[in-house]
């Protein structure tokens, strides 16, 4: 059964502003904790496995910080920890956050007139029961040509340096250049609403 915003507590295990915004749009009250893990130390062959492994590593890191006391087990109000990760896949290669402005520019240049995929994972852990379930969601994005001046402005502004694959489709400079999105924008932003809601309900 789905709980209301008052029948359970939520910890969002992410420093992403986009994920915070999505959780607010969904009507959840939550506190924020960050995992601070070395994401590049976790490698997997398949991007689907990678995003799930990263969400699990983030959850584990936060749980070890919490050191939940025994009283939580009998607490009538469960706490759900939501962790997530997103990568961009371009021509079969996984892309995480750009390591430099030059790399961010190259990423954006590659998308011009082409397509990219985003893979976002969501993992919900019920800290009261230990129940944990995760899923990943895939979105395909097709771009029009991206002019050099738009690339310049995006790099100068800097937001693209802090997201997977340097990709922000909801950005006012990029939005008009998005030809087609097969999937949901919230998934591209890092937290697919439908998946998150279902996992929360299943975790309670």
Give me the active site residues, please.
85
End-to-end CA distance of the chain: 7
CA distance 18 to 137: 16
Residue 154 tokens, joined: 């995006």
- 39: three-class secondary structure by DSSP: helix
Beta-carbon count within 10 A of 198 CB: 16
Beta-carbon count within 10 A of 8 CB: 20
């Amino acid at each position: 059964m789905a709980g209301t915003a008052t029948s359970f507590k939520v910890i969002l295990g992410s420093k992403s502003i986009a994920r915070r915004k999505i959780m607010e749009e969904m009507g959840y009250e939550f506190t924020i904790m960050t995992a601070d893990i070395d994401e590049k130390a976790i490698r997997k062959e398949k991007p689907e496995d990678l995003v799930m492994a990263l969400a699990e590593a983030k959850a584990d890191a936060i749980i070890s910080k919490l050191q939940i006391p025994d009283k939580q087990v009998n607490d009538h109000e469960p706490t759900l920890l939501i962790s997530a990760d997103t990568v961009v896949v371009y021509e079969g290669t996984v892309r995480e956050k750009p390591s430099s402005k030059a790399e961010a520019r190259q990423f954006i240049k590659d998308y011009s007139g082409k397509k990219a995929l985003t893979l976002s994972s969501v993992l919900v852990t019920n800290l009261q029961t230990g129940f944990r379930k995760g899923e990943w969601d895939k979105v395909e994005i097709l771009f029009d040509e991206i002019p050099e001046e738009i690339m310049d402005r995006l790099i100068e502004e800097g937001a693209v340096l802090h997201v997977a694959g340097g990709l922000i489709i909801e950005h006012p400079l990029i939005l008009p250049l998005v030809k087609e999105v097969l999937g949901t924008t919230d998934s591209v932003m890092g937290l697919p609403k439908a998946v998150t809601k279902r996992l929360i309900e299943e975790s309670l």
